Structure 1
Amino acid sequence: MSIVTMRAHLTESDIRTLIKGPTIDDRAQAAHKLCRCIDEADLSVEERKHAESIIGIMAADAAVLVRRALAVALKNSPRLPRDIANKLAQDIDTIALPVIMNSPVLTDADLIEIIRACPPSKQVAVASREHLSTKVTGAIAEYAVTEAVERALANDNALFDEEGLDTALYRFAGTSNIMQAMVRRSVLPVGVTEKLVSMVTGELFDHLVNNHELPPQIAIDLSMASRERATLDIVEQAIRQSDLPRFVQQLNLNGRLTPSILMRGLCLGQMDFVEHAMAELAGMSHQRMWLMMHDSGPLGLKSACERAGLPPRLFSSIRAAIDVYHGIEREGAARDRITFRKRMLERTLTLFQSVPKDDLDYLLEKLDASGLQQERAAAI
């Protein structure tokens, strides 16, 4: 928009009305019109200076309605000068909060200063922004009130580093809303998850161990305490580990790489875990074990089982499970994890005559749980 066009919209009459309008409503209406034109215009440097002087007049107006018209109209605009945005952020809540929550011109330093110096309502407004850097969330964790910290934790677009989460844990240990918001974040550092294990119970504990990566030793200890069929399924936990070989190694050191664990892994379709586990037991590389296990000939898998020290009676069941796994892969019908697992369980349960009854009961439980989960997913 040229200066001529802009002035056609922003007439001298509009500016006079803004400054000396007969009523507050008139001045507020003029302010809104001016702001909309400024936000939409393609301004030159000279025009921008003119527009900023108009914005300064609005920001200094004694009438709340005029200042609010400015804040609401330009809350999302990069045309709002940073100094005016900070001035509005110090105003009363009806003016400040829209700017604090939305303005793209406020820097991390501005937001941190608001968190350190402003009342709770404005801290919550900062925490409600669509995106927050780790610097800002760190300040929220250190200085903000409970509601603001909870709001930021509940926002997965608010980035937290481990230091910020640790600070929140230290300040709000035992505060249920904070614990719940943290546990339900989509991603948590392993170190924070480890701390939370001892701080939450019930449903939150279940969610934590089923949805976040745990340090290998913690996962092992939890599984041992619950005799391998706890809320935390050791096979499920294994596949979440970013360093699967290390997790498997620790399982072996603790005597947890049992034949039943491997059978469970096969029945759940967790082939990566089974391959790494057998490689660990056999003392060979994962690549070499993979070649032996998936050899279509009669000797490769048999040799792999012998090298891993598995009972000979399990060989036929392992062979059948691997064949089922490859068959489902070839079909390509079970593309999602739940459907794939359900098919693995359905097809393998009837084959495993040599698996102990307790393990078969466990697998049946997993089949029921998978079916229920699939029904719930289909209903959403």
Structure 2
Amino acid sequence: MILRQFLTLTQHASAERRAEAAGTLAQAYLDGSLGPDAAWEAKTALLALLDDPALAVRRALAVACADAAGAPRPLVVALASDHPEIACCVLARSPVLMDADLVDCVAIGCETTRSAVASRPDLSKPVAAALAEVAGLPSLTALAKNPLASIGTAAFLRMVERHGEDAELRRALLARHDLAIEVRHAVVALLAEQLARAGQDEGWMNSERGARVAREARDSAALALGDEAGETGLARLVAHLRVQEQLTAGLILRAILSLRLPFAEAALSELSGLSRARVAGLMFEPYSAGFIALHRRAGLPALLLPGIQAALTVWREAADGRGGPSGPRLARSMIEAALTACETLPVAEARGLVALLSRFEAEAARDEARLFAQEQIEAHARDEAARLLAAPEALPVTDTWPETMADVWDLAGGSTLPEVIELPAPAFEPAPEVADSVVAVGEMSEPEPSVSEPALPDAGAAWPLAPRPEERLGAPVVVQAPSRTTAEVPSTLTAEATETLLAGLSEALMASVLSVRSGLAGPEAAPEVRPEPKPAARPREIALAVAAGMIPQDLVLSYRADRRRERLAA
């Protein structure tokens, strides 16, 4: 019934209407709301739509079935072999397609469909291997940029072998977190060969020098990768180098003379078949019969034996704790020992070896010079920092704030920054009643014209002023010699100002002041110095408290006793 109605309604409809009807029918089938008979009819109608000449109809089917796990498999497989615009919808996402279907599409498809397969999030190793074998550069780049694709080491190596010259592909490969160390070495070796060919094409070097530069760059890259490979990665790298016929005697000699002893141990173990622990023990006794047998069993030339023995002897003496150089200096000492040992060899046979050792010596000398220069820079920086900390000087006052450390250094004249920078305290406007009280106290304590006394702050000044440590609440009274200014102030004016201030104090505030002073009155009490808190929104109480802290204690007690007698008399 559904099939008949669908064919009747879409027989003379336009391509847009047929595409809309196809999408609706596919959604109804995938929802699972149809009965068994209706579902069979709907499935048959969907398969019949594969013969529709309009791309829009088949594209509507592909879009509806792309992410559906319950889509009819014959329908999805047919759509995967359709026009690339339609096939890409199901090849990139459909969970119905199996690895065999994807491999077949890779083999017979175009680069557009292969790129769609390469971007699948659940791509398996067999499909990735098929892409690495037959896909072009765009598809391989898409595969390398797919972080969820599972790619084997052989597929990676095949990708580098086929299209490793492309810079974008190399960047995509090196950015992957699962790239094997063998692939990294293959990428670096290919890049070294490219650089050598570029030098030859430009006429900078001949073919022999280009080959030597490429070989030495490849060996240096192999040793650098071995430093960060770990035990397992180092063994895999050495095995890969042996398969690629790059595990040469020159590489082992370079490893020994550059203090890459773990690499040399792994290489000799790979070539001789002995365990790495056994090889390490024999290398510690280079003049023993066991090491000579190891050298012969690994297939190394006999010409290298005296130089290797002399170099390992220098290394063993340094390892035994007998002192001596370390790092590049030790490597240079080993190379010099190897060169000395080669002096007894025939000139015709040892000429190439001496030239190789001379190049190693030049490289070690450059490494030593770099290390020494870096040490001198660091030592100068430490000395300069110590000098700046030992002799601080203030910066000159300027109108502009320095933007960089170079500007700060120029302002300091090559000295240092100030240890303490004083910032102005935040000012706020006091309440009117506090300002009036302060002005009143200042008027009552006005000295004679002949007496110079520091003026109290006016109402517009910052308030409250931070008291000195000896003036804080609770600080012990320290008897000091009166200055000339305070001694000349008339006592009557001071007494009147004190009486006025005491009259404005509450009983609770006077009791609090006396209790605090009594707790700190012992001989061991010391003024407490701590940062002043930000004043609260009660400036009158703060002003009265500060003023009360400056009144002698005997006067407070006397005034309090007089007040108590007045209350009893009343």
TM class by shorter chain equals: 0.5 to 0.7
Structural mapping, 1:213-252, within 5 Å: 222=220, 238-243=227-232
Alpha-carbon distance in structure 2 between the residues aligned to 1:22 and 1:172: 49
CA distance in 2, matches of 1:176, 1:116: 26
Question: Is 2:122–2:148's contact at 8 Å kept on the other side of the alignment?
Answer: yes
Residue by residue over 1:308-330, the C-alpha shift from the partner in whole angstroms, topping out at 9 and shown as x without a partner, is 5346799xxxxxxxxxxxxxxxx
Q: How far apart are the structure 2 equivalents of 1:149 and 1:188?
A: 15
Contact 1:15 1:30 in 2 (8 A): no
2:178 pairs with one of 183, 187, 190: 187
The answer to whether the Cα contact below 8 Å between 2:50 and 2:58 also exists between their aligned partners in 1 is: yes
Does structure 1 residue 361 correspond to structure 2 residue 374?
Answer: yes
Matched, 1:82 2:73: yes
Match of 2:128 among 116, 130, 137: 137
Sort the Cα spacing of 1:363 and 1:60 in 2 relative to 1 into closer, same or farther, 3 A: farther
Cα 1:80–1:244, aligned 2, differ >3 Å: closer, same or farther?
A: closer
The answer on 1:168 being equivalent to 2:159 is yes
Counterparts of 2:83 and 2:133, CA distance in 1: 24
User: 2:69·2:94 contact (CA, 8 Å) conserved in 1?
Assistant: yes
2:96 aligned residue (88, 101, 105): 105
**Do the aligned partners of 1:21 and 1:27 also contact (CA within 8 Å) in 2?**
no
In structure 2, the CA distance between the partners of 1:118 and 1:252, relative to structure 1 (3 Å rule), is closer
Q: Matches of 1:154 and 1:45 in 2, distance apart?
A: 44
Match of 1:92 in 2: 83
Match of 1:51 in 2: 42
1:183-332 map, 5 Å: 183-200=174-191, 222=220, 238-243=227-232, 254=256, 309-310=320-321
CA distance in 2, matches of 1:83, 1:104: 13
Amino acid aligned to 1:243: T
How far apart are residue 240 of structure 1 and its match? 4.1
Correspondence for 2:18: 27
TM-score for both structures, normalised by structure 2: 0.37
Deviations 1:144-171 (A, max 9, x none): 1211111111212222212212222222
Identity of aligned residues (%): 25
CA contact 2:76–2:96 (8 Å) conserved in 1: yes
The amino acid of 1:24's aligned partner reads A
Is contact 2:192-2:218 (8 Å) kept? Answer: no
| Bigger radius of gyration among the two | 2
Alpha-carbon distance, 1:196 to partner: 1.8
Report the Cα distance in structure 1 between the residues aligned to 2:33 and 2:231, rounded to whole angstroms.
Answer: 50
Specify the code of the residue in structure 2 equivalent to 1:108.
D
Could you tell me how far apart the structure 2 residues matched to 1:173 and 1:224 are? Answer: 18
Aligned with 1:68: secondary structure? helix
Instruction: Tell me: CA distance 1:22–1:12, structure 2 relative to 1, closer, same or farther (3 Å).
Output: same
Q: After TM superposition, give the deviation of residue 363 of structure 1 in Å.
A: 11
Amino acid at match of 1:254: I
Structure with a larger share of its residues in helix: 1
Match of 1:124 in 2: 115
* Inter-partner Cα distance in structure 2 for 1:93 and 1:78: 21
**Secondary structure at 1:132 match in 2:** coil
Match of 1:114 among 105, 117, 133: 105
Are the aligned partners of 2:63 and 2:89 in contact in 1 as well (CA < 8 Å)? yes
Q: Using the TM superposition, give the Cα deviation of residue 246 of structure 1 relative to its aligned residue in structure 2, in angstroms.
A: 7.1
Q: Unaligned regions of 5+ residues in structure 2, if any? A: 196-215, 237-251, 261-279, 284-316, 326-368, 382-570
TM-score (norm 1): 0.54
Given that residues 220 and 251 in structure 1 are in contact (C-alpha distance below 8 angstroms), is that contact kept between their aligned partners in structure 2? Answer: no
| Cα deviation digits, residues 7-36 of structure 1 (max 9, x gap) | 9xx79755643x425222221111111112
- Residue 153 (1) aligns with residue 166 (2): no
Q: Partners in 2 of 1:310 and 1:43 — Cα distance? A: 85
Aligned equivalents of 1:151 and 1:113: distance in 2?
Answer: 19
Cα gap change, 1:363 to 1:51, in 2 (>3 Å): farther
Q: Which amino acid aligns with 2:115?
A: V
1 CA distance for matches of 2:13 and 2:227?
Answer: 73
Residues 85 and 106 in structure 1, CA contact (< 8 A), matched pair in contact too = yes
CA offsets, 1:334-376, max 9 Å, x none? xxxxxxxxxxxxxxxxxxxxxx9936936988xx9xxxxxxxx
What is the distance in 2 between the residues matched to 1:139 and 1:363?
55
CA distance in 2, matches of 1:140, 1:164: 8
Local SS of the residue matching 2:122: coil
Q: 1:362 & 1:153 partners in 2: Cα distance?
A: 42
Q: Name the Cα RMSD after superposition.
A: 4.7
Q: 1:220 to 1:140 in 2, by over 3 A?
A: closer
Letter in 1 for 2:320: G
Q: In the comparison of the two structures, how many residue pairs are matched?
A: 257
Give the AA of the match of 2:82.
D
Gaps of 5+ in 1: 1-6, 205-217, 226-231, 259-279, 284-305, 315-355, 369-380
Q: Which amino acid aligns with 2:371?
A: D
Verify the 8 A CA contact 1:179 1:200 in the aligned structure 2.
Answer: no
Residues 359, 188 of structure 1: CA spacing in aligned structure 2 closer, same or farther, 3 A cutoff? farther
The 3-state SS of whatever aligns with 1:79 is coil
Higher relative contact order (CA 8 A, sep 6+): 1
Q: Contact 2:185–2:221 (CA<8 Å) still a contact in 1?
A: no
Q: How far apart are the structure 1 equivalents of 2:144 and 2:181? A: 17
Seen in structure 2, the aligned counterparts of structure 1 residues 364 and 117 have a Cα distance that, compared at 3 Å, is farther
What is the DSSP-based 3-state SS (H/G/I as helix, E as strand, rest coil) of the residue aligned with 2:52?
Answer: coil
